[in-house]
Structure 1
């Protein structure tokens, strides 16, 4: 999947995880990847099962029922230098990089797999979190095959 420069956002900050998830969804919606209903399904998905994946990343995506609202596969990468807590009041699960995804059919599984492989090495996550340009983010993620 080709990363699009306009879907990469640097130096964002959010008051909570729902705001962060909705932001990712809005980028996908504005880009024509999903219907607006998909944004609520992304929040619902996180309520069912946290989209926090460890190693300072979260992968907001919709519920299975929301697949009908995906128009084309897409991914947004959002850098959050100060982090956003995807845990509870009692447990901190801070994400500094968010990957908002929407996939036609099972494409979202392939996207998640590639992200997981890249982000399994926390040094790669740090590089993403420290990236200074959209081009740098694309270059880092394009190194995953």
Structure 2
């Protein structure tokens, strides 16, 4: 099972708030079999403790540390919010849901952070017209 696949990409997402956005990102991980539904509750819990907004229009919601044993396989979901979603006073246009086994989340977090820190790459991601195009940008940027 790949970390990112078409079924885990939403190009024109809309959410009322960050919690709805997190539920959407989490649901994609559940549907793909990476995590059980309880993991999504832990993603919400994590967000309530501190925002998962990283900067530059990116938020990367993930579960709390005690949710680690729930993760069946490493996966990420990618949602583009053209209108943005308020993450505690910051606007996120790119929301990446993350579930990672062991220490894999650190590699993924750093790879994604480097990828979106390049303004050109971030624009390419946000302007992707197909799921395949978006996945190709991530695979290229993450050295898959």
Q: TM class by shorter-chain length?
A: over 0.9
| Residues 46 and 60 in structure 1, CA contact (< 8 A), matched pair in contact too | yes
CA distance in 1, matches of 2:120, 2:48: 29
CA distance in 2, matches of 1:21, 1:3: 17
Residue 124 of structure 1 pairs with residue 125 of structure 2: no
| Residues 57 and 125 in structure 1, CA contact (< 8 A), matched pair in contact too | no
**Cα 1:2–1:72, aligned 2, differ >3 Å: closer, same or farther?**
closer
Equivalences for 1:7-86 in 2 at 5 Å? 7-86=8-87
Alpha carbon RMSD of aligned pairs, Å?
Answer: 1.1
Match of 1:131, SS state, is coil
CA distance in 2, matches of 1:101, 1:21: 10
**Cα 1:2–1:33, aligned 2, differ >3 Å: closer, same or farther?**
closer
Runs of 4+ in 1 over 3 A off after TM superposition: none
**Cα 1:2–1:67, aligned 2, differ >3 Å: closer, same or farther?**
closer
| Residues 33 and 72 in structure 1, CA contact (< 8 A), matched pair in contact too | yes
Aligned residue for 1:96? Answer: 93
Q: Post-superposition shift, 1:123?
A: 2.6
Q: Post-superposition shift, 1:22?
A: 0.8
TM-score (norm 2): 0.94
CA distance in 1, matches of 2:117, 2:96: 14
TM-score (norm 1): 0.93
Unmatched 5+ residue regions in structure 1? none
